[in-house]
């Protein structure tokens, strides 16, 4: 019997085993398709190429005659493979040679019969897809398994908040073993109803199989074959957490904007799953937005991923569905925060999962990404998870008032007040002070008599105002809740005070403080030969700036410093050195290491200063 096998029959791998073949006509279109799949790192392509090699060996043994026929498909035909262009070329070859079309593709078989071809359909072989080979490394306390060529198997094991990364095997894994693990994961994910391919790119495949998220990396993307399996080791409900009754009442009385924050591995996603399940059981329509999809929720909660490569497109689709609540796992980039805010302002209850090392850090991630006055409308609740437990809950609201620690009535402004949910007492305030956004803690901090958040901001603002006038060193000492002493060089006294005291009066009015201007010689810690900051240290003072975060850059405005080389610092700690552009600014591209460090400093409320070199 003369046969023309299509791509599915070659991948199936049983053509070479037959003893009833006369001539096997292998279409060049099949070779091209297998080559394309192998180049893309797909196991099916490699399996098909191995079968072609076995066909050559059997032909050399005289089992049958082997011929490669037809032409290679064009790039357009390859792109249209999913629409049947390659299958059509193969059927034409079978008709030309009056050969039997051999296929494991049921659609190809039916089309071939409909066009008058002799067709033999070979039922694909199935394997047990109920268990993956990598599951041999799991036990009840294993959260993740890490396998890599040339390295002994590793795993993270323990309990939430007490995980340990440890070796779980004696011998390094060989490349052949790793290739088998990778093939097992990918093939079973495609064949099983319990799994699917979440993402497939050259060098990286992300698989979701039951409750396991598995990443398979290959060279050249990685320096060796690597398989990483991650899964939840506990499933909770809301009753397992502190403040359960209060949180239930809070999220059910009306749609809320909630940020669930915590360090990696703290149990944020586990808590988000518990909230999602509770809301779904409370007659709310709940959806999720995830990439990859790995929240372990019931079938009544539909899990969405990126649509057309964008979560913004997913949000547009969800607004048509109108869920009561959407769980957004994880909110990381500026585009994520903007999408989260858009959906919340459209009236959808939103629960976002955010990496943060402090509860307040999660809220500060919105500063610069969402208009300040809109933040309480976007997020009114922050839940901080630590070691699998609810550690802190904040209530976020807006109040028009004089910020805590200031006394002048004309300094009243909109203030974002962050209350501790447990005590009802304000913990932080966020507001605009002299054109910069500040986050002020309302406790005294460590040591009993440290500089309070308001004092620190006040001192920094006084320094900023005086330095814009003075040419020499400036030192500031707060002498009361609404007064300060400023020490400058004798040559700068007249400039700072101004004609008839007008300039210093203007500064006092803007800041709501009484300022006494003195010479540096009068400062208690004066060192005539030294330079330094207000604390007497040796670092160079700098101008306080407020970086602006755009979609592509972090921009530091420095009008009047064009062409200067400056040093950028956060709370006096060196970050980087840069040259100010002709436009009077320093731009740092988002995504770079420097930009990430600068954004983190801004998110944490650190003071950014710039000093000339």
pLDDT in tens, 151-196: 999 999 987 667 889 999 999 999 999 999 998 898 888 878 888 8
Residues of the chain with pLDDT under 50: 444-450, 527-540
pLDDT at 408: 64
Q: Do residues 365 and 249 share a domain?
A: yes
The β-bridge relationship of strands 195-201 and 204-209 is antiparallel
Token representation of residue 468:
């814009």
**C-alpha distances in angstroms, 55 versus 21, 29, 87, 123?**
11, 16, 21, 20
- Residue 608 domain boundaries: 543-612
Residue 528 has what pLDDT? 41
In a domain, 145, yes or no: yes
pLDDT value of position 447: 40
**Other beta carbons less than 10 A from residue 18's beta carbon:** 15
Instruction: Judge if 74 and 163 occupy the same domain.
Output: no
pLDDT at 38: 84
Whether residue 494 lies inside any domain: the answer is yes
List, as one string, the DSSP characters of 524-578.
TT--TT----TTS-SSPP-EEE--EE-SSEEEEE-TT-TT-EEEEEETTEEEEEE
Does residue 532 form part of some domain? no
> For residue 55, what pLDDT is reported?
94
Residue 443 confidence (pLDDT): 66
For the chain, the 3-state helix, strand and coil shares in percent, each to the nearest 5, are: 35, 30, 35
pLDDT at 126: 62
CATH of residue 334's domain is 3.40.50.300
The answer on 182 and 139 residing in a single domain is yes
- 417 lies in the same domain as 271: yes
SS3 of residue 212 by DSSP:
strand
Residues 106 and 255 in one domain: no
Q: Which of 400, 419, 418 is nearest to 410 (CA)?
A: 400
Residue 566 in domain: yes
Strands 100-103 and 119-121: parallel
| Block residue for tokens 């040679």 | 97
Q: Are residues 154 and 205 in the same domain?
A: yes
**Which residue in 200, 220, 198 sits closest to 209, CA to CA?**
198
Does some domain include residue 528? no
Give the total number of structural domains in the chain.
5
What pLDDT score was predicted for residue 526? 57
Say yes or no: 314 and 419 in one domain.
Answer: yes
């Amino acid at each position: 019997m003369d046969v023309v096998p299509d791509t599915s029959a070659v991948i199936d791998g049983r053509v070479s085993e037959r003893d009833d073949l006369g001539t096997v006509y292998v279409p060049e279109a099949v070779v091209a398709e297998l080559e394309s799949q192998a180049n893309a790192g797909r196991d099916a392509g490699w399996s098909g190429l191995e079968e072609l090699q076995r066909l050559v060996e059997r032909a050399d043994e005289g089992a049958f005659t082997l011929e490669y026929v037809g032409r290679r498909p064009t790039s357009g035909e390859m792109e249209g493979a999913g629409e049947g262009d390659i299958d059509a070329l193969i059927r034409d070859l079978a008709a030309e040679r009056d050969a039997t079309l051999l296929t494991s593709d049921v659609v190809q078989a039916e089309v071939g019969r409909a066009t008058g071809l002799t067709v033999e359909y070979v039922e694909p072989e199935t394997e047990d897809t109920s268990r993956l080979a990598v599951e041999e490394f799991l036990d009840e306390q294993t959260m993740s398994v890490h396998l890599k060529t040339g390295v002994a198997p590793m795993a993270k094991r323990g309990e939430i908040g007490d995980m340990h990364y440890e070796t779980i095997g004696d011998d390094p894994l060989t490349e052949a073993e790793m290739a088998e693990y990778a093939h097992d994961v990918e093939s079973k994910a495609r064949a099983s109803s319990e799994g699917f391919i979440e993402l497939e790119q050259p060098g990286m495949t992300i698989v979701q199989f039951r409750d396991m998220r598995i990443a398979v990396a290959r060279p050249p993307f990685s320096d060796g074959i690597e398989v990483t399996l991650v899964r939840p080791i506990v499933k909770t409900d809301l009753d397992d957490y502190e403040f359960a009754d209060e949180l239930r009442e809070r999220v059910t009385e009306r749609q809320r904007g909630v940020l669930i924050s915590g360090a990696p591995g703290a149990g944020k996603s586990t808590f988000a799953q518990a909230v999602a399940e509770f809301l779904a059981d409370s007659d709310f329509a709940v959806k999720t937005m995830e990439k990859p999809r790995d929240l372990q929720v019931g079938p009544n909660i539909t899990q969405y991923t990126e649509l057309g490569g964008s979560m913004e497109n997913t949000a547009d689709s969800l607004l048509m569905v109108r869920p009561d609540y959407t769980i957004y796992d994880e909110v990381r980039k500026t585009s994520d925060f903007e999408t989260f805010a858009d959906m919340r302002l459209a009236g959808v209850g939103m629960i976002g999962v955010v990496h943060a090392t402090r509860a307040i850090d999660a809220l500060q991630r919105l500063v610069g990404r969402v208009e300040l006055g809109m933040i309480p409308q976007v997020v009114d609740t922050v839940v901080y998870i630590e070691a699998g437990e609810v550690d802190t809950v904040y209530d976020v609201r807006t109040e028009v008032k004089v910020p805590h620690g200031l006394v002048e009535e004309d300094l009243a402004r909109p203030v974002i007040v962050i209350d501790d949910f447990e005590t009802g007492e304000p913990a932080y305030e966020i507001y605009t002070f002299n054109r910069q956004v500040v986050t002020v803690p309302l406790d005294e901090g460590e040591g009993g008599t440290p500089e309070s958040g308001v004092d620190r901001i006040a001192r920094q603002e006084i320094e900023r105002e005086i330095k814009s006038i003075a040419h020499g060193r400036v030192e500031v000492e707060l002498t009361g809740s609404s007064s300060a002493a400023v020490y400058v060089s004798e040559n700068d006294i007249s400039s700072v005070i101004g004609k008839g005291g007008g300039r210093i009066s203007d500064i006092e009015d803007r800041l709501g403080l009484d300022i006494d201007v003195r010479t540096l010689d009068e400062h208690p810690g004066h060192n005539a030969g030294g330079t330094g900051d207000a604390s007497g240290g040796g670092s160079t003072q700098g101008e306080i700036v407020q970086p602006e975060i755009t979609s592509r850059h972090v921009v530091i405005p420095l009008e009047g410093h064009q062409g200067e080389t400056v040093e950028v610092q956060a709370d006096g700690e060196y970050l980087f050195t840069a040259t100010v552009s002709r436009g009077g600014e320093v731009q740092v591209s988002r995504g770079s290491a420097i930009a990430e460090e600068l954004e983190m400093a801004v998110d944490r409320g650190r003071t950014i200063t710039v000093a000339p070199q």
